[in-house]
Structure 1
Amino acid sequence: MLAAISLREGMTQAAAAWVRQGHEPPRLVFAGTPALARQIAAGAPADLFVSADEAWADRLQGQRRLRPGTRATFLANRLAVAVPRGRAPLRRMDDLSWLVGTGRLALAAPESVPAGRYAKAALERAGLWRGLASRVVRADDVRGALALVARGAAAAAIVYATDIAVEPRVRSAGLVPARLTPPVRYVIAIPTAARDPDAAAFRAFLLSPAGRAPFLRAGFLPPR
C-alpha cells in the first residue's frame, strides 16, 4: 500500500486494527504523494493508493492507472503554521512575514507536493507570497518541512495541522484560515496493477467508521 507520509501514524494504527480482525498485515509504504504517484504511473505494483490531494489522483485516473469505481474521498485536513516551541502564536495571517523575519519559511515543494501547493495558494490569496517567496526553503515532503523547523533551520513552516502533533520540538502558531486554501482532501483508490485480493476489503475497512477512527483521533477531518 502506498500512502501519503502525513498519514503514517494513523495508517499504522488502522492497519493494526485490521490485523486484529484476523487479516494479514498490509505492507505500508509512506512518502510524498508525487513520488508515490510516479511509481504507480511507471507501473510499479501497488494494491492501494492514498493521495494527499485530488490532482495526483486525477492525473493517475487520466492515465488509466486507477481501477474504475474504486476512487473515494477518504479524509480532510487543515493547514497550520509550525514554529519552534516557545514562539508566540500568530494573531493574524499577516503577521507571518514578521514571524519569519530574516529566517526561512519551510514548505513542501509547492510545484508538486500537495501540502506545498496548498500553502503557496494560501500565501497568494493572503497577499503574502511576493514578500515571502525569497525566504522559502523547499523540502521533499511535508514531514521534511516540519523537520527543518524542529532542527532550527527554518523559522516557520506551513504544514498539515495533524503533522505538528508528531514532532515534540514544534508547536502550532495557528491554523491557516480555511478561506485561503483549496479544500484539503485525501483520495483513496485501488491501482489497476493491484494484485492482492484483500485490497478491496482493506479499502472498505479504511472508509468505515472503525477504519477512519485513528485518523479522526489524530485531528484529521471527515471528508467534506
Structure 2
Amino acid sequence: MPVRHVLLPALALLLPGLAHAEQVTVFAAASLKNAMDDIVASYQAQSGHSVVVSLAGSSALAKQIQQGAPADIFISANPDWMDLLEAEGLLEDGSRRDLLGNSLVLVAHGTDAAPVTIGPDLDLPALLGDGRLAMALVDSVPAGIYGKAALEHLGLWQEVAPSVAQSDNVRAALALVATGEAPFGIVYATDAGAEDRVTVAGRFPADSHPPILYPVADLANRDSAAEEDFLTYLQGAEARAAFEAQGFTVLAD
C-alpha cells in the first residue's frame, strides 16, 4: 500500500482535534506568576489549546480590560477591581468565583535577617535606617493597598510613609529587596516563597488588613470552549496542587 494511503486515515483522525485548538488569553495578577507557569504548562500538554498569560498589577490589567484589551479570563488580587469590571458589565454573568487567598509579610534582604514581631510597637523607621521600604503602589495595586491598610491599622504608616519606595506591582517590589536596593519590603507570602534572596522577617496579623482574595471571572467579550475549559481547570485538582505548592489558600471547589 502506498505510504499516502496509510497517512490519510491517521491525519483524518488528528485534524478535527487540531482544527479546534484555540488560544486563551489570561490577565493575571503578577503574584500568580510561578503558579500560572506550572498550571499553563500542564493544561497545554493535556488539552492541545494554548494559553497566553499577561502578568501585571491588577489595577493595570483592569484598566486595560476597560479599554477593550482582548483578554478572556481575569484573575485579580483584589475584589475591588473585579467589582469595577462587573459593575460595567464586562464579566460573563455567573462566572465570577473567589479562587484564592493569601497573606502579607515583611521581607528582608538576604537569607539570615533577624525576625521581628509586627505590631503597634514595631519601630519600623529604626529598622529601615537610611533605607527604603519597598511596596507595590499603595493607592492602586492590591499588595500595596493591603500593605498600607495594615500599616495604618497598626499606627505605623505616618512615620514610615516618607521612606516607602513604590513599584508598579508586587514582584517589582520584591525585586528591590532581593537585589538589596531596599532592605525591607511588604509582599505576599507567596512572593516571598518564590525568591531565595529574601527572608520573611515577620507576618502581618490577618486582622490588620482586609482579607486577601483573588477572584477569577470569564470576561464578556467572546465565548469559546477553550476559555470555559481552562476556567474549569483553574478550579480543579491539578491547579489546586500548583496553587498550594506556591503557598496560596485555595477557596474555589
Letter of the structure 2 residue corresponding to residue 170 of structure 1: V
Separation of aligned partners in 2, 1:197 and 1:211: 19
Instruction: Return the TM-score normalized by structure 1.
Output: 0.95
Other-structure match for 2:113 = 87
Match of 2:169 among 141, 166, 184: 141
- Name stretches of at least 5 consecutive residues in structure 2 with no aligned partner: 1-25
Does 2:191 align with 1:166?
A: no
Structure of higher CA gyration radius: 2
Give 1:168 deviation, angstroms: 2.0
Q: What is the CA RMSD across the aligned residues, in angstroms?
A: 1.4
Give 1:195 deviation, angstroms: 4.7
Other-structure match for 2:49 = 24
Give 1:95 deviation, angstroms: 4.2
Letter of the structure 2 residue corresponding to residue 39 of structure 1: Q
Does 2:208 align with 1:180?
A: yes
Other-structure match for 1:107 = 135
Other-structure match for 1:47 = 72
Moved more, 44-53 or 193-202: 193-202
SS at match of 1:172: strand
Give 1:152 deviation, angstroms: 1.7
- Name stretches of at least 5 consecutive residues in structure 1 with no aligned partner: none
How many pairs align? 224
Letter of the structure 1 residue corresponding to residue 116 of structure 2: L
SS at match of 1:187: strand
SS at match of 1:28: strand
Does 2:124 align with 1:96?
A: yes
Moved more, 116-125 or 93-102: 93-102
Separation of aligned partners in 1, 2:176 and 2:75: 25
Task: Tell me which stretches of 4 or more aligned residues in structure 1 moved more than 6 Å.
Answer: none
Moved more, 158-167 or 116-125: 158-167
Match of 1:198 among 213, 221, 226: 226
Does 2:148 align with 1:120?
A: yes
Higher relative contact order (CA 8 A, sep 6+): 1
Other-structure match for 1:78 = 103
Instruction: Return the TM-score normalized by structure 2.
Output: 0.85
Other-structure match for 2:8 = none
Other-structure match for 1:2 = 27
Separation of aligned partners in 2, 1:200 and 1:182: 30
Deviations 1:131-187 (A, max 9, x none): 101111110000111111122221211000010122221111121111101100001
Deviations 1:57-104 (A, max 9, x none): 000111111111110001000001111113211133324333222311
